[in-house]
Amino acid sequence: MRAFIAIELSQEIKSTLSILQQSLQKTKADVKWVEPQNIHLTLKFLGDINEAQLNQISGILDEAAKLNPAYSIRISELGAFPEIENPRVIWAGVDHGDSQTKQINRILEKRLSSIGIPKEKNEFSAHITIGRVRSGKNRIKLSGELKRLNDEFIGRDLQMQVSKIILFESKLSPKGPVYEILKTAKLGPLSS
């Protein structure tokens, strides 16, 4: 089964990001947009895992959750990898809560590598993918609209409480991926 570990986002954040996607769609750029109900913050993509690994991953998820207290995140900006002028992946970034999110990722990477799941080559960046550019069609228009929307977006107070991390299975269907929850692990009590 294809699996990943992520933070489920609030309906308010998903709705806001969906509205931003609609504005970006007007550029008619060739982008595969993430379905609003599937928008999430990935902590670790696992790829294909088997039943034995599933049990080990569940234990690692519980361990990582217990080591980290609940916290809040704030969505702070729009951007693109590798850069806004040459977008390949369009994302919303996290400022408040970034260090806690990175800490959870570090624990997951370390523990999961001990059961044979390779560490990511690139440094982890707490971001929410909202679209993947498929070709250069209308790229300049897309880049300009991204910059404009980011200027509008900065300063919005779009926050949520993170109280759990989730192991999802990604099932491919003709309508796109469907995410099914395999395991939920509650973070520790709120830090004061």
Distances (CA, A) of 81 to 35, 50, 85, 177: 19, 31, 9, 22
What pTM did the predictor assign?
A: 0.93
**Contact indicator for 142, 29 with CB cutoff of 8 Å:** yes
- Per DSSP, what are the bridge partners of residue 162? 71
The CA angle 37-41-47, to the nearest 5 degrees, is 95
Burial degree of 11 (CB within 10 A; 0-12, 13-18, 19+): exposed
> What pLDDT digit, counting tens, does each position of 132-190 carry?
999 999 999 999 999 999 988 776 789 999 999 999 999 988 888 999 999 999 999 87
**Contact indicator for 17, 92 with CB cutoff of 8 Å:** yes
Tell me the pLDDT band of 191, cut-offs 50, 70 and 90.
low
Q: Which domains does the chain have, with CATH numbers?
A: 2-186 (3.90.1140.10)
Burial 75-86 (b: 16+ CB within 10 A, else e): bbbbbbbeebee
Rounded percentage of the chain residues whose pLDDT exceeds 90? 89
Catalytic residues: 40, 127
Q: What is the dihedral of CA 53, 59, 62, 64, to 10 degrees?
A: -70
Q: What is the reported pLDDT for 90? A: 98
Q: What is the reported pLDDT for 155? A: 63
The CA angle 25-26-29, to the nearest 5 degrees, is 60
Q: What is the reported pLDDT for 175? A: 84
